[in-house]
Structure formats: C-alpha cells, structure tokens
Chains A and B, each alone.
Chain A
C-alpha cells in the first residue's frame, strides 16, 4: 500500500513537471509488455481449444497473432532504447504477420463458407470426418 502511494505521488510529481530521480517501479518495462502479450496469447489459445464455433476459433487465432505482434513491437522498442540490433526488425516482422493474417483470414473464411454450404454447420463438433 505504501509503495502504491509513493508511486502515485511520483506520478503526480511527474505530471506536475518536477524532476524525479528514481524511475517509477510501475512504469511499463519490457517484462510488463511481455506479460500482457502472454496473457492475450493464453486467452487466444484457450479460445481455440474450447470454443465450438469455428468463426470464433478464427477470431481467437487473430488474438494470438496480435499478442505476438505486441511482443515484437515491445522488443523493437527495447532495441530502439538500448541501441542493440536494428530497431526496425520487429516492426517489419509485425507488418508481415499482419499480411499473413489477412491472407489466412480470407482463405479460412472461404473454407468456412464452403463447409457451411456442404454441411450446414459451423460447429467443430460436427465436422469430425478426419477424427481418429
């Protein structure tokens, strides 16, 4: 509680334009971003594994890809601040991931439409021809 209060005071002091020597322990670090992207990734994985609607499974895959994008951008920022490597690499990767995600969504939804036309269902419980 005490540290929370000091953090708050630091924040207010910063906002008021005073110079504060110690960086706030709550300031988002690399590990904060990695944790956030990990949680988004886990939610996407849980969605892929447990939902029945194939469209929502696709949306969970988009969530996973976005979590990875966030991770890439965080590392790109890290390199930018520490001066290691080429800081643009992460952002270039992110752009290619977005391209591949768009292509994947187009193809996947085409498959969903074709499957719905043949089987009249979008539930993965009923699309089990390849299940052993």
Chain B
C-alpha cells in the first residue's frame, strides 16, 4: 500500500516544522510574530493528530485554538501597547537563566530516565510494533481504514456522552464561569463605577 513510507516522511516534516516554529514562538521579539508562529505550531500539531487517526480532535484544535484562542491573543496584543518591546535595546528575556536551565535539565533527566525504563522492557514496544505490522494498519501513523469513512467522531461522541457525561457537564459550567469572569475582569473604570 502507498501508506507507510509517505506517512513517515509527513510525520518528520510536521515534527520538524512544529519544533522550529515552537523555537520561534519562544525567541521572537514581537508578540505578533510569536502569535503567528504559535498558530503554525498548532496547525502542524493538528496535522500530527490527523496522522494519529484523531480527526475530531484535529478539527477541535483548529476551530478552538487557531480560530478562537489565537484570535483572542491577537486582539489582546492589539489592545496592549507592545511598542516598547520591539526596540532592539529592550531585553526580551528575564535574568532567570539559571533556574530555567536547571529546570530544563531536570526535566530532561526525568525524561531520559523514564525512556530508559521503557527501553529496558523493550518487548513492550517491539511486540506492539510487530503486532502493528501484522495488522492491516502499518506501524505508528496511518489511518486504520484507509478508503473507508472514519468512525472516529462517532465513537468519540458516544464515549464522551457515556463514559464522560459528568465531566462534560462540568466543562460547560466551567466555560460559563470563564465567560462571566472575563467580562468582569475586562470591564473599564466607567463600567465599574456604574455597577459599584
């Protein structure tokens, strides 16, 4: 089947794009550039979701993050004056290099430790890999039923309303609280006076 090779290359292309864009998010001087780089990171990560067979999550990611949250970020950058930061003479980093480096190395050590544990019982992965190779789906990335309609959204919706019905309702309450809270936080002096 056409699948495996091409999907591997697509994975690596998306992964490197996501990483490079993420580096630019952290290092870009202008907040607007940062937001645009973050948008491209989110889009490439949603491509990875698609590669992993999670179509609904990919759509939700595009709609909620790129269409909603990032537009909100751009609006706030527009409202807030960031001209000061864009001058070359202004520092864009804090002086917290040492805690940052220490924490990053600690996290890296924890990661390497856990990955080495994973490799010690490597049959865990290798068996899975060989099982994947026997299954109609090739290893790691591709869609299970290539050519057929994916049932991802249907099964996900059923699971969401059966297994996770209570968290679903709690999430709706959380969103309501977030709406009311952001309106309260963002009101101006004049509005505060009218209400208080």
B175 touches A99 (CB 8 A): yes
A105 touches B94 (CB 8 A): no
Q: Quick check: is B147 within 8 A (CB to CB) of the other chain?
A: no
- Contact residues in A for B146 (Cβ distance below 8 Å): none
> Could you tell me the distance in whole angstroms from the C-beta of A88 to the nearest C-beta in chain B?
4
> Could you tell me the distance in whole angstroms from the C-beta of B117 to the nearest C-beta in chain A?
11
Q: Which residue of A lies closest to B22 (CB)?
A: A43
Q: Which residue of A lies closest to B126 (CB)?
A: A29
- Tell me the residues in window 1-26 of chain A with beta carbons closer than 8 Å to chain B beta carbons: 10-15, 17, 23-24, 26
A14 touches B4 (CB 8 A): yes
**Most A CB atoms within 10 A — which of B64, B80, B99, B128?**
B80
> Could you tell me the distance in whole angstroms from the C-beta of B192 to the nearest C-beta in chain A?
10
Q: Given contacts A17-B2, A107-B185, is CB(A88)–CB(B159) below 8 Å?
A: yes
B22 touches A53 (CB 8 A): no
B42 is contacted by which of A51, A66, A77 (Cβ under 8 Å)?
A: A66
B138 is contacted by which of A17, A23, A62, A117 (Cβ under 8 Å)?
A: A23
The count of chain A contact residues (Cβ–Cβ below 8 Å) is: 84
Q: Quick check: is B91 within 8 A (CB to CB) of the other chain?
A: yes
Q: Quick check: is B194 within 8 A (CB to CB) of the other chain?
A: no
What 1/0 flags go to B16-50 for Cβ under 8 Å of A?
Answer: 00110011011000010011001001100100110
Bound-state CA distance A69–B56 (Å) is 13
Q: Which residue of B lies closest to A54 (CB)?
A: B80
Bound-state CA distance A102–B67 (Å) is 11
> Could you tell me the distance in whole angstroms from the C-beta of B119 to the nearest C-beta in chain A?
8
A32 touches B140 (CB 8 A): yes
Q: Given contacts A38-B111, A73-B52, A124-B94, is CB(A107)–CB(B26) below 8 Å?
A: no
> Could you tell me the distance in whole angstroms from the C-beta of A101 to the nearest C-beta in chain B?
7
What 1/0 flags go to A74-109 for Cβ under 8 Å of B?
Answer: 101110111000101101101110111111111101
- Tell me the residues in window 131-183 of chain B with beta carbons closer than 8 Å to chain A beta carbons: 131-133, 135, 137-141, 144, 152, 155-156, 159-160, 163-164, 167, 171, 174-175, 177-179, 181-183
Q: Which residue of B lies closest to A26 (CB)?
A: B8
Bound-state CA distance A96–B77 (Å) is 26
Bound-state CA distance A122–B81 (Å) is 8
Chain A positions within 8 Å of B, measured between CB atoms, are 10-15, 17, 23-24, 26-36, 38-47, 49-53, 55-56, 58-60, 62-63, 66, 69-70, 73-74, 76-78, 80-82, 86, 88-89, 91-92, 94-96, 98-107, 109-114, 116-117, 120, 122-125
